[in-house]
Amino acid sequence: MNMMPDDREGFAAFLLRLRGRGIVPKNLIAAFEATPRRDFLAGQFHSIAWSDRMLPIECGEAIEGADLQAAVISALNIEQGNRVLEVGTGSGYTAAVMARLAGRVVTVERFKTLTDLARQRFEMLGLGNALVRQADGSNGLPGEGPFDRIVVWAAFDSHPRMFVDQLSSGGTMIAPIGPEEGEQVLCKLTKIGSRFEREDLGVVRLQPLARGVAAVI
C-alpha cells in the first residue's frame, strides 16, 4: 500500500503501541497495512487516521480507535476459511481487515448510507469475500449460521444467549456487555457444547446495541 508521509508516521506509531500491548501477529499487521484506513474517513481526519481516538463518520456514528480494533480482531484469532459475522459495519474498515484473514465476512449495518459506502469501499479494494447488508443485527443472522467468529461493536445489557446457536462448536464471539451509560466489559465468549465460556478482555465504552433498521438514512 502506498502511504502518505503522515500515514506512514501514524502507522509506525500504531505498530509501536500494538507491540507494547503484545499484539504482534504478522498476518494481522499485514492485513491492517494493506487496508488504507484514510479511505474510510472524511478528509479532515486523514492525518489522525491511525490514532486510538474514536472518530466521527456518517449517520452520527463513529469509528473505534485503531488500537481497540486491532485488539478485538487479534482476540478473535481468525483463521483461514473462517466464516465471520460482524454486527455494526460502521465505515466498513474492520470488515475489510477481517476479510484479508477470513474465508468470508458478513457484516450487518442498520443505516443504508453506511451500508452503501462500505459496499463501495469493499469493491474498490477488490474484497469479494466481504458482504454487507442493511439489517437489524441485534439478534445476529439466525438463518445464516453457523459462524466461526462473531464480533459486535455495540453493548448488550446482558449475556447474549441468542447468539449461541449461531456459533460453530469451539467458535468465538467478542462483544461488550454492560449498562448503556458508562463502561462495559469487553467479553470473549467461546462456545463449549451449548454454552459460552467467558473471558473478560478489558473495559470499553461503546454505544448500546440499537434494534431495528434506520427508516431514512
Calpha distance 125→203 (Å, rounded): 33
Tell me the pLDDT tens digit for each residue of 99-134: 999 999 999 999 999 999 999 999 999 999 999 999
Asked whether residue 143 carries a pLDDT value surpassing 90, the answer given is no
Tell me the pLDDT tens digit for each residue of 57-66: 999 999 999 9
Q: Which superfamily does 54-204 belong to?
A: Vaccinia Virus protein VP39 (3.40.50.150)
Tell me the pLDDT tens digit for each residue of 196-205: 999 999 999 9
The average pLDDT across 38-60 equals 95
Q: What is the pLDDT of residue 1?
A: 56
Q: Is the pTM of this model over 0.85?
A: yes
Could you tell me which residues are beta bridge partners of residue 187?
Answer: 175, 200
Parse the chain into domains and list their residue ranges: 54-204
